[in-house]
Amino acid sequence: MENAARIMMVDDDPSIMEMTKMSLEGEGFYVESEESPVRALEHLKTNKFDLILLDYFMPEMTGDEFVNQLRAAGDNTVILLQTGYADEDRPIDLLNKMDVQGYFDKTKGIDELILLMISMVKTIQKAKE
């Protein structure tokens, strides 16, 4: 992929993170990952990314709390929220209540995620032109 997009992945499941990171890197993305949302917020204070791939349900804080803290710090990075618990909240409700730009149901699989990520990154890059 031209001008490899910088992706920050925040997910408390190490096996999902490793598989997703390998798949995204295989498509040419630059990926950094963090299991702790608290450490991820600290890292984002000094490092810029094109997109954040954010798990919704994590032990230290929910995706909603993460987004609120990130936005309060003035960071407007595009966020793709993902969850494996699609039945908990309707995706449209999550998008409407949170300041995120996309939603992904983890049960859809890695190929669907990669397709969505490529689409989002192209949109981000186009907006920067």
Give per-residue pLDDT as tens, 3-52.
589 999 999 999 999 999 999 999 999 999 999 999 999 999 999 999 99
Residue at 10 is within a domain: yes
Domain range for 47: 6-128
Two tokens at 14? 């190490």
Give per-residue pLDDT as tens, 46-93.
999 999 999 988 999 989 899 999 999 999 999 999 987 655 565 667
Residue at 87 is within a domain: yes
Residue at 76 is within a domain: yes
Say which CATH number the domain at 52 has: 3.40.50.2300
pTM above 0.85, yes or no: yes
State in Å, rounded, how far the first CA of the chain is from the last one.
17
Number of domains in the chain: 1
Q: How big is the chain by its Cα radius of gyration, in Å? A: 13
